[in-house]
Amino acid sequence: MRNLEIFDSTLRDGAQARNISFTVEDKLNIVRALDALGVRYIEAGNPTSNPKDLEFFTRAALLHLQNAELVAFGSTRHRERTPQDDPLLQRLLGAGTGTVAIFGKSSELHAREVLGVSLEENLHMIEETVRYCVQNGKQVIFDGEHFFDGYKQNPDYAMRTLQAAASAGAMRLVLCDTNGGCFPDEIAEITGKAVARFGGMVGIHCHDDTGCAVAGSLMAVGAGAVQVQGTFIGFGERCGNANLSAVIPSLQLKRGYACIPEGQLCELTATARYVAEVANIVLPAQLPYVGASAFAHKGGMHIDGVTKLRSSFEHVDPASVGNERDLLLSEMSGRTSLLHKIRAFAPGLRKDSAQVAQLMDILKRLEFEGYQFESASASFELVVLRHLELFSSPYRVELFRIVGEQADKQESKLSSAIVKVQVGERSEITAAEGQGPVNALDKALRKALEVFYPEIRDIRLVDYKVRVMEPQRATAAKVRVFIETTDGAASWTTVGVSTDIINASFKALTDSMDYKLYRSAKGL
Amino acid sequence: MRNLEIFDSTLRDGAQARNISFTVEDKLNIVRALDALGVRYIEAGNPTSNPKDLEFFTRAALLHLQNAELVAFGSTRHRERTPQDDPLLQRLLGAGTGTVAIFGKSSELHAREVLGVSLEENLHMIEETVRYCVQNGKQVIFDGEHFFDGYKQNPDYAMRTLQAAASAGAMRLVLCDTNGGCFPDEIAEITGKAVARFGGMVGIHCHDDTGCAVAGSLMAVGAGAVQVQGTFIGFGERCGNANLSAVIPSLQLKRGYACIPEGQLCELTATARYVAEVANIVLPAQLPYVGASAFAHKGGMHIDGVTKLRSSFEHVDPASVGNERDLLLSEMSGRTSLLHKIRAFAPGLRKDSAQVAQLMDILKRLEFEGYQFESASASFELVVLRHLELFSSPYRVELFRIVGEQADKQESKLSSAIVKVQVGERSEITAAEGQGPVNALDKALRKALEVFYPEIRDIRLVDYKVRVMEPQRATAAKVRVFIETTDGAASWTTVGVSTDIINASFKALTDSMDYKLYRSAKGL
């Protein structure tokens, strides 16, 4: 297998995405995860523009990384300073990484119009900056900003910027599609030209503004690039960067490149989910390879096909990237997928048993009422477990009441809720306030249950979704509520349906509590 | 410009995505939106597997579409039946569309292992099914399922499946990368071979399992494909389909293809947001061209660059696709479009007036709080009218109370609400029951207002939608409620935001009543 360098910029380019903001602790955690997975370079910040990043590099120096090398990011020297006198450049060197990434303008237009320097001066800036870093013991990766757009306007000048960096000792020349507007065929063609001239020192850096960042990266590798830059789950400025969690398995499983150490690919999904969690975003379900839906099958025909022949609707084995096949239940699917799901927790059940037929009926009725179990597998599991008498709720809700009062249509006051639960001979009545009736109910129910089941304290709701069905019935329509819960070790989703949003929410809430109690009874 | 056919499968392949479930009303709304935008074909369902789709086609036949043609989707005949005897095929023809899409196996492996038929029989199934549809007056688009994987295993057989469809009269031969595992260079090469043989009747259908569906589609067009199939905002089974909202502008703006009628491209973003709204999903912010972040600039250097030279960090002009640059929201373009909207009902207003600046501030604050006026223009109009003192609500809500009570978690009883409104010296207090608290409030508010304003009787709520924002805050998150109302002559949408769903609904309800009173005062 040929080696290919994976250069992750989640902590630098990724941090420029909307809604992303990392603490120093977050960054250290992501560095550890990416190092464990085995990426080659981690671009971890821009110490010249962000003081927090300087603290990060000081602490990161104490990490004992196994696979990765940290990279600090900065730009060419100021146009009116020497490298020695440029305080930003001094700060970059001060980050103490063995490798630095230096970006410079590879486009005539940008050198003139944005930097406001002559074309010759821009070349000097690149060459002097790279040379100064090399002389100070750094390995230098040169990022040619706007290289592709620059090449289209003035190919000769774009190549001269790379030449300037190469002569000064840069070890990689990275071609950046900074605006993300190039198509993969253009990327392939132009990368091929750079490779023809500079050989095996060319890298690629794509943005996703046309939705082609991953494809552009793959095509560049096909044209001879030896390094792919991107962010681990694709987030970055505007539409994001090349999504490395898609680039890595595509190259490693299908094109014979060694991107990360052998045996580590099965950690890909877990790493992606971890990075999303630290970044505090929901990992998009449809993300290639690592998303929750990446191997989910809904159409009955697809489910039938995939159980007959794995490869019929799966381009790779989900296990190879640490993901799982998921057969979704829906009006389009049938008994095969149901049985497959049930067997996960009731392995003895036969396809032709009466219980399976009864369960089909129960589930069909619930789906007809508006339940949707494909994204609420915990509620599905509870329906099955209850029917098979493998679980029953150990408590009973005797009453719940909302006390909502509103003086006028100005912003809401707190709502209050009363909940009474009974466990055996004992009962507990309690109240709580919250932002809106559902939040109040959630809090009151937990308060009451915690008296009996301290493990309820471990759980936390992480998502709450409402879908109005039959919208033409307007406010009398049914609503479907999904609640996602985590206890730190696992997370699960439950569903409730009713014409009353409070009632629907309460069903999903009690299912969520029940599922925790079931897990806890099973010692999970 | 060369013509390129856009074939949208949001309502068929898109409906196979996790969490997507369309009502018939939803589907009709999406058809209207895609037709208005100008896509060529809308694959709207599979009447052979889903009875709801049959109802849809009956109602859809009454739409007067301007640009698009509806397509019903089905498969080749059953292996043991003639087309005449195949009830599913009869149902497909019964959908009454002028065009049908027929999928058949283009892979030797799948014909043998999944369908369980001989290779010759599979060819007969394709040919007879296509011919039967053509003889019944249908235009037939043949989808060669697993064409690319099939071609890699047995190129000759894959081509024979296309030939079978072509000889039987299919008007398009669509090459499907059903598993989504092919790379764009393979797609380009193999599509080129099919084009060499069948000329200008080849289409492309990509899935996003490697993150390359858009790129694969573009490369196929480069190789001569004349039709691109995909879903409008990319959702579909597993990782989704080729995202047409990225394919269309890339081909139209950068490669000189006419995909939708001239002048319609600026409706792209609004259409994407509308489709997401109807599908009840959050439009991913980083979606190319149409996402909220697609032209958002965060890095200071990028902001500096983009204001010096538009093209420095924008690959196309955001206005060309109806999107906006984010940092300019308060500047010229934002104000221009705002003014444009305001002038519709306050023609005298000047661009540099203090009132316009104040309105900008008010709207920005409301949007920050979570209001979204794009799909709630009645609420937008009321904000402006109230600020310009062209309208004020003639009544005041003195109180509203919900009396919700629940004996246990069984199906809900009716909720009750009390509302008191004041008009001048008079006031009216009344109560109503409804299915859930929002429905009860709606009824009580109308009862109280009808005493003063009999025209309130004419209105009827036709749609009620809830969207949870900041979902990670779970039940304490803010919710946004949209209500659509009609009085028979017109319909309008209003919005309310709060952490409390009842409060948010009440805001949208009172705006809806206010808007009716405003219309009635203007004699509309």
pTM of the model: 0.73
Residue A355: pLDDT band (50, 70, 90) is: confident
Q: To the nearest whole percent, how much of chain A has pLDDT over 90?
A: 59
Q: What angle do CA B290, B296, B301 make, to 5 degrees?
A: 150
Interface contact B503-A412, CB threshold 8 A: yes
Question: Using CA atoms, how far apart are residues B456 and B422, in angstroms rounded to an integer?
Answer: 16
Question: Using CA atoms, how far apart are residues B190 and B178, in angstroms rounded to an integer?
Answer: 14
Question: Using CA atoms, how far apart are residues B417 and B402, in angstroms rounded to an integer?
Answer: 4
Residue B325: closest CA among chain A residues belongs to which residue? A238
Residue A407: pLDDT band (50, 70, 90) is: very low
Residue A23 main-chain phi, psi, to 5 deg: -80, 170
Contacts of B287 in chain A (CB under 8 A): 239
Q: To the nearest whole percent, how much of chain B has pLDDT over 70?
A: 91
Lookup result for tokens 């939708």:
B260
Interface contact A211-B288, CB threshold 8 A: yes
From residue B421, how far is each of B196, B430, B446, B506 by CA, in Å?
74, 9, 10, 13
**Residue A468: pLDDT over 90:** no
Question: Using an 8 Å Cβ cutoff, are A269 and A238 in contact?
Answer: no
CA A403 from chain centre, in angstroms, equals 39
Residue-wise pLDDT tens digits, B68-82: 999 999 999 999 999
Residue-wise pLDDT tens digits, B225-258: 999 999 999 999 999 999 999 999 999 999 999 9
Residue-wise pLDDT tens digits, A366-396: 877 778 787 788 999 999 999 988 899 999 9
Contacts of A420 in chain B (CB under 8 A): none
Distance from the Cα of B20 to chain A's closest Cα (Å) equals 10
**What does CATH list as the number for A396-521?**
3.30.160.270
A-B Cβ pairs (cutoff 8 Å, strict): 389
Question: Using CA atoms, how far apart are residues A397 and A418, in angstroms rounded to an integer?
Answer: 11
Question: Using an 8 Å Cβ cutoff, are B152 and B177 in contact?
Answer: no
Q: What is the dihedral of CA A259, A263, A264, A265, to 10 degrees?
A: 70
Contacts of A104 (CB under 8 A, 6+ apart): A75, A76, A122, A125, A126, A129, A142, A143, A144, A145, A161, A165
Average pLDDT of span A179-185: 96
Distance from the Cα of B169 to chain A's closest Cα (Å) equals 26
Q: Say what the pLDDT of residue A19 is.
A: 67
Residue-wise pLDDT tens digits, A13-64: 998 887 677 878 889 999 999 999 999 999 998 887 666 787 899 899 999 9
Lookup result for tokens 């037709």:
B35
Distance from the Cα of B268 to chain A's closest Cα (Å) equals 14
Interface contact B215-A184, CB threshold 8 A: yes
Average pLDDT of span B15-30: 86
Distance from the Cα of B197 to chain A's closest Cα (Å) equals 23
3-class secondary structure, A100: strand
User: CB atoms < 10 A from the CB of B65, how many?
Assistant: 14
Q: Which class for B85: exposed (0-12), middle (13-18), buried (19 or more C-beta within 10 A)?
A: exposed
Average pLDDT of span B308-321: 83
Question: Using CA atoms, how far apart are residues A251 and A256, in angstroms rounded to an integer?
Answer: 6
Residue-wise pLDDT tens digits, B145-166: 999 999 999 999 999 999 999 9
Residue B348 CA neighbour count, 13 Å, CB half = 3
Q: Return the top range by mean pLDDT from A60-74, A297-311, B294-308, B433-447.
A: A60-74
**What does CATH list as the number for A2-279?**
3.20.20.70
Residue B486 in tokens: 């009609």
**Residue A196: pLDDT over 60:** yes
Residue A442 in tokens: 């959630």
Mutate to test the interface with A, among B103, B238, B473 (most CBs of A within 10 A): B238
Q: Say what the pLDDT of residue A300 is.
A: 61
Amino acid at A247: V
Q: Which class for A21: exposed (0-12), middle (13-18), buried (19 or more C-beta within 10 A)?
A: exposed
ipTM of this predicted structure: 0.74
Residue A462: pLDDT band (50, 70, 90) is: confident
All structural domains of chain B with their residue ranges: 2-279, 396-521
Q: Say what the pLDDT of residue B331 is.
A: 30
Interface contact B309-A114, CB threshold 8 A: yes
Q: Say what the pLDDT of residue A377 is.
A: 84
Mutate to test the interface with A, among B243, B475, B485 (most CBs of A within 10 A): B475
Q: Say what the pLDDT of residue A408 is.
A: 45
Residue A107: closest CA among chain B residues belongs to which residue? B312
Rounded to the nearest integer, the mean pLDDT of chain B is 88
* Order of strands, sheet of A460-468, starting from the edge strand that comes earlier in the sequence: A460-468, A479-486, A491-498
Nearest beta carbon to residue A463 from set B146, B180, B474: B474
Residue B332: pLDDT band (50, 70, 90) is: very low
CA A46 from chain centre, in angstroms, equals 22
Average pLDDT of span B472-484: 76
Mutate to test the interface with A, among B233, B500, B501, B514 (most CBs of A within 10 A): B500
Q: Which of A64-68, A326-330, B506-510 has the lowest mean pLDDT?
A: A326-330
Average pLDDT of span B86-108: 95
Residue-wise pLDDT tens digits, A197-237: 999 999 999 999 999 999 999 999 999 999 999 999 999 98
Residue-wise pLDDT tens digits, B341-400: 777 777 777 777 888 888 888 887 787 777 877 668 899 889 999 998 889 999 999 888
Average pLDDT of span A511-521: 94
Nearest beta carbon to residue B250 from set A210, A216, A250: A210
Interface contact A435-B500, CB threshold 8 A: yes
Instruction: Report which of residues B10 and A279 the model is more confident about.
Output: B10
Q: Say what the pLDDT of residue A404 is.
A: 64
Question: Using CA atoms, how far apart are residues A435 and B421, in angstroms rounded to an integer?
Answer: 25
**Residue B412: pLDDT over 60:** no
